[in-house]
Amino acid sequence: MEDKLVTLAIRTFQRAQMIKSVLEENGIETVIHNLNLEHPELAVGVRVRIKESDLPRALKIVEEMESAWEHEPATGSTATQQVLIPIDLSDQVTKAIDFGFHFADILAAEVVFLYVYFSPAFTISSNNDMSTYSISDSDLLRKIISSANSEIEAMTKLTHDRIAKGELPNIPFRFELKEGVPEDQILDYCKKNNPALVVMGTHGKKLNNELIGSVTAEVMEACVSPVFAVPVLMTMQSPNDIKRVAFLTNFDQKDLIAIDRAISLFASEKVEMYFIHASDKNVAWSEVMLAGIKSYFANHYPQLVTNYALLKTTDTPELLNNFMINNQINVLAFNTRRRNLFARLFNPGLAYKMVLHSDTPLFVTHV
């Protein structure tokens, strides 16, 4: 019987080359597919393929390699992989903390709480002379910082107590206190430290017509790291309640890496994965593509139950929201391009729309 080739992993070109080198040193014949032959360093979704008979041994080798990678220094100033949890100490979101610690446990990462405060450092004088100002709010600034430090001390004790009771995994954690605009400081922190995941709370569906942008939505549309948004009013009580994850795909090759990330984060014996595509055109071809994606991931992740669905359009977030409610979807995941400020202001993306119109958690990547 022919020993067919199977896909061991989907990784960037650099990581795929490293895996290939180590496997071949261990006598395992390895082939890399889907390269950009002119510029291989730009290739995404590179497949590392091996003989099916070598799969058990290769899986063990790659697992050891990736375990070592998890503890490599990040591209920023930190040496430990991080899960970042931005918080507002006046309105703590317990569920975001629960999910953040859960994912940090999966990723073998430390938790970093980031609190951003606004400093009214300067007050313009009453004669409207812009060249004249006084630091009249220095006392207020000291009170803000003092209050924040007190809240951090209380939250540190509470978190240690919850770890001791077994309510949270025993994960290292620390606090960062920054001055400025929350979304700017969060994005800047991610750019410098490259956390493996950002976990943020969001208010979800608005109870009024307020159009002021959500900090979470702004971060999701521009962040270099994957973001998991936790609505305050969601029905799930813990990460163990994640049973169905939907991935919205446009059949972009980069979606394969994003799907692989989602599976790595959410997959368990109890999780079902839905692949969904929204379009008004080429319905027959879209169904063929979805069926192919379903078959591919069913073969390479046999523990997963996989499904696919077609939607007519994503012009309105209500359509997606209704689909998630009707199919009891616990998490909606998708890959999106980072967008500049002008685009985000005048043409909000799907992440922004879903944050403001849904109480379903979102997982957004930028591959």
Classify strands 123-124 and 244-248 as parallel, antiparallel or unpaired. Answer: unpaired
What are 133's two structure tokens? 């100002």
235-365 has CATH 3.40.50.620 classification? yes
Q: How far apart are CA 200 and CA 187, in angstroms?
A: 13
What is the average per-residue pLDDT within 68-87? 67
Digit-coded pLDDT (tens) for 150-184: 888 888 999 999 999 999 999 999 999 888 888 88
Q: Do domains 82-230 and 235-365 have the same CATH topology?
A: yes
What are 33's two structure tokens? 């597919």
Q: At what angle do helices 254-266 and 283-300 cross, to 10 degrees?
A: 50
Tell me the sheet residues that pair with 111: 83, 173
pLDDT tops 80 at residue 23: yes
What is the average per-residue pLDDT within 105-122? 80
The CATH number that domain 82-230 falls under is 3.40.50.620
Digit-coded pLDDT (tens) for 280-329: 666 666 777 777 777 777 777 777 788 888 877 655 677 788 888 888 99
Please state, in angstroms and as integers, the Cα–Cα distance from residue 97 to each residue in 57, 94, 168, 246, 360, following that order: 37, 5, 9, 23, 17
Digit-coded pLDDT (tens) for 128-157: 444 444 444 567 667 777 787 888 888 899
- Asked if 280 and 310 touch (Cβ cutoff 8 Å), the reply is no
Confidence of residue 110 (pLDDT cuts 50, 70, 90): very high
Provide the pLDDT for residue 89.
Answer: 63
Q: What percent of the chain has pLDDT over 90?
A: 17
Place of tokens 């004790």: 157
What is the average per-residue pLDDT within 348-363? 74
Between 89 and 276, the higher pLDDT residue: 276
- Cβ-based neighbour number of residue 8 at 10 Å: 23
- Sequence-distant (≥ 6) Cβ neighbours of residue 126 within 8 angstroms: none
CA 38 to chain centre: 31
Place of tokens 């409610």: 325
Place of tokens 């953040």: 100
Question: Average model confidence (pLDDT) for the chain?
Answer: 76
Provide the pLDDT for residue 123.
Answer: 41
Query: What is the sign, positive or negative, of the torsion defined by CA atoms of 265, 268, 272, 273?
Result: positive
Digit-coded pLDDT (tens) for 196-245: 999 998 864 443 334 334 788 888 888 889 999 988 778 787 888 888 99
Provide the pLDDT for residue 167.
Answer: 92
Q: How far apart are CA 202 and CA 14, in angstroms?
A: 36
Domain ranges of the chain: 5-69, 82-230, 235-365
Q: What percent of the chain has pLDDT over 70?
A: 70
Between 214 and 19, the higher pLDDT residue: 19
- H or E segment to which residue 246 belongs: strand 244-248
The CATH number that domain 5-69 falls under is 3.30.70
Query: What is the sign, positive or negative, of the torsion defined by CA atoms of 120, 126, 128, 134?
Result: negative
Nearest to 187 by CA among 137, 233, 223: 223
